[in-house]
Each structure stands twice: as structure tokens, then as C-alpha cells.
Amino acid sequence: MLASDGGSVDRVMEVQKALIELLHLSLTFFRRFSPNLAQASNDEAFDPESYEPLLELEYNTSGSSESARMLSFGSLLRCVHLCISALRKLDTHSRASTASPSAQRSLSFPVIADRTVMAMILEASIELVLAQTVHRLRHPRVAQADKDVLRREVATELGELMSRCQRYAGGSPSAQRRGSSTRMSPAASTAFDAQFIKFAQQFVQDLAHVS
């Protein structure tokens, strides 16, 4: 029905764009109540108990109605996944010489979404996941069993997402061997903070090897 109703589709796209902007503002707000990553990781005087945990220790990334009711590690990892997928689709359409209205409307995120905002949401989500992970791992009242599960889940899920991010940006040797069809355009690649993505990937790799 929406496909035959241009006005309805336009309204849906406007709502999607507003939700993306709201998500960006929400992540900015949440980061004010979380220790920053450098502080949580490197400051020996950092007191984990001076911050309340923001994310529930739940790792479902399916977007089910139950998991969507809470702000959890799973919901933010799903946000990272959606951002990478959206950036890839945005880049696919930007490379095309023409994009039909029906093709544009097939996106789960609208083509009119700002690539820079999407990249900022991606980076904010990754940073919040990592900062909250370190916060929980250093917190004396978190059970060791919960810490072990947290470390394993974040290292596995975010590690895969970071690999996807690198592939889409053409930053991995395997992506370069496969050719430009799997890489983002220069405009898309510059939307990423390359140094942050590289740092986050190394952080996740180190996390996976902590016993």
C-alpha cells in the first residue's frame, strides 16, 4: 500500500529521519552518564562505583519485543549492526547514477539520512559499549561469572561487527583483494573516524585474549 502512496512513504521517511536524529541525541545524552573509555581503561584512580551501570547484561541482538524494552549491550550491538548496514546501503545508492523512488524506499533507513550522522551514531554506540564493558569488568560488585560472559559476548559480537566495518570501508587486505565492489566510496569512508575504528578493533581483540 505504501508503494502506491507517495505521500505516505514520504511521511514514513520523515519519521525515520527524525528517529535517527533522536537516536543520535539519546546516545549523546547517555554518554554523559558513562565514564569515557580512556578514563575507565587507563585511570588507576578510577572508581567504578562512582557511576551507575547504564546497560543491562543482556546480549540478544535480534530486536525482539522483550529485549527492546531495556537498554542493554544487545540493543547497542544491534544498533552498531544497523548503522553498518545503513551506511552500506547509502553508499550503494550514492554510487548508482540513478536510483528509482522504489529502490530508495526499499532501504530500512532512508536515503536522505545524513551519512555523517549515521557514522557518529555508529561510533557513539561502539564507544558506549566499550566504556560500559570496561566499567563492568572493573566493578567489584559484578560477579566473576557475569564478567566472563560479558567479555566473551562483547568480544565475539563486536569483533564480528568491527570486521564488517573494516571490510565495508575497504580497510582490510581481504576487502582489497576482492576489489572495489565490496568497498565504500571515498565519501563513505571519510564518514568514519578511521583511527577510532582501528583502535576499537584492537581493543576488542585484546579483550578476547584476556583470561
Share of the chain above pLDDT 90, in %: 38
Q: Against a cut of 0.95, is the pTM above it? A: no
Are 87 and 191 within 8 A, CB to CB? yes
Cα separation, 62 vs 84, whole angstroms: 16
Positive or negative, the CA dihedral 199, 200, 205, 206 is: positive
The pLDDT-based confidence of 103 (bands split at 50, 70, 90) is low
pLDDT attached to residue 76: 95
Locate 83 and state its grid cell: 548503522
**In terms of Cα–Cα distance, which of 87, 113, 111, 91 is closest to 101?**
111
Task: Calculate mean pLDDT across residues 167-173.
Answer: 56
pLDDT attached to residue 75: 93
Q: Is 81 helix (H, G, I), strand (E, B) or coil?
A: helix
